[in-house]
Amino acid sequence: MNAFKLTHRALMSNVIDDKIKLTQQLQLLSINQKLSYEATQKIQKIPNPGRPKKPELVRFQSLPQRDKSDLGFIKTIHAICHIEFNAINLALDAVYRFQDMPKQFYQDWIKVAFEESQHFTLINNYLIEQGYQYGDFKAHNGLWKMTVDTDYDVLARMALVPRVLEARGLDVTPKIQKRFMSSKFSAMVDILDIIFFDEINHVKTGNTWFHYFCKQRNIEPLSTFDKLVKKHIGSKLRGPFNIEARKLANFSKQELEYLERI
C-alpha cells in the first residue's frame, strides 16, 4: 500500500469515522512494514483539509470568552476536542507533504496521527456522554493556518507546529486540569493526563526532526528557530512555559534559556 496515497485519503476525508479508520489503517500497515514510500503523484497545496461541515470555523478573536458555568466547561471540552481533530490533520499532512524523508520520519508522524485520533475519540465520547458532540459549537482555524504557512519547508514545519503549537499544550494543560478538578467534569483530568503524556512524545518527535534537519543543513538550531518564529509569528512566543515538560520533550538547555528570557 502506498503511504502517500492512503495518507492523502485520510487527510481529505470529510467524514470523521472514515478519517479515524484510515488513520488506524495507516498505523497498522506502518507497524507491520506494509507501506511503500514511493512518491507517485504531484504534491498538492491544501488550503483546507477534510473536515465535517460543523463546527463552523470563525476567527479566534470572535469566539466569546468561556465562563465557569457548566456550559462554559462543555465549550472548553469542545475546544480541546477541536484541537485534537486538527492535530490528526497536522500529522497526516507532515506525512503527505514531505515525500523525500527517511522512512522513520513517516513512521513517527503516522504514529502521532494515530494517537491524535485516539485523543479526539476519547474527548468526543466524553462530550457525547454529556449530551453534546464535536461540531455543536463554533471553533477557530488557527492551527491549520500555520500548517499552510509552513508547507514550503519541512524544517519550518518541524520548528513551528510541534515545537510551538503543540508545545503550547504542555504549558496550559496543568492549569486546565486544575479547573476541571473542582468541577462536575473532573473525569477530564484523567483524559488530559493521557493526552499530556502522549503530547510530550509528539513534541519530542518534532524536536528530534527539527535538530536532524538543522544538522543535515549545517545550520545553528536556536538562531534558525528564532528567525522562523519572527517570520511566521512576528511576536514573542506566549508564556508562561512548562519548563519541566519541555525538558521531557527534549528541548535543549539553550532553547529553555531562550524561552525563559522571553
Domain ranges of the chain: 1-37+49-149, 152-262
207, 212, 215, 219 alpha-carbon torsion, rounded to 10°: -50
Q: What is the distance between the alpha carbons of residues 51 and 11, in angstroms, rounded to a whole number?
A: 9
Q: What is the mean pLDDT of residues 140-152?
A: 90
Q: What is the distance between the alpha carbons of residues 146 and 75, in angstroms, rounded to a whole number?
A: 23
The architecture in CATH of the region 1-37+49-149 reads Up-down Bundle (1.20)
Please enumerate, as own/partner, the contacts of 239-242 that have beta carbons within 8 Å and a separation of 24 or more: 239/171, 240/171, 241/171, 242/170, 242/171, 242/173, 242/174
Query: Given pLDDT bands bounded at 50, 70 and 90, which one contains residue 238?
Result: confident
Q: With contact defined as beta carbons under 8 Å apart, do 127 and 133 qualify?
A: yes
Express each pLDDT in 88-123 by its tens digit.
Answer: 999 999 999 999 999 999 999 999 999 999 999 999
Q: What proportions of the chain, in percent to the nearest 5, are helix, strand and coil? A: 70, 0, 30
Query: Given pLDDT bands bounded at 50, 70 and 90, which one contains residue 61?
Result: low
pLDDT of residue 172: 96
Length of the chain: 262
Classify the phi-psi angles of 135: left when phi > 0, otherwise alpha if psi is within -120 to 50, otherwise beta.
Answer: left
Q: What is the mean pLDDT of residues 6-17?
A: 98
Q: What is the mean pLDDT of the chain?
A: 94
Q: What is the distance between the alpha carbons of residues 259 and 241, in angstroms, rounded to a whole number?
A: 7
Is residue 178's pLDDT more than 70? yes
Contacts of 146 (CB under 8 A, 6+ apart): 160, 161, 164, 165, 232
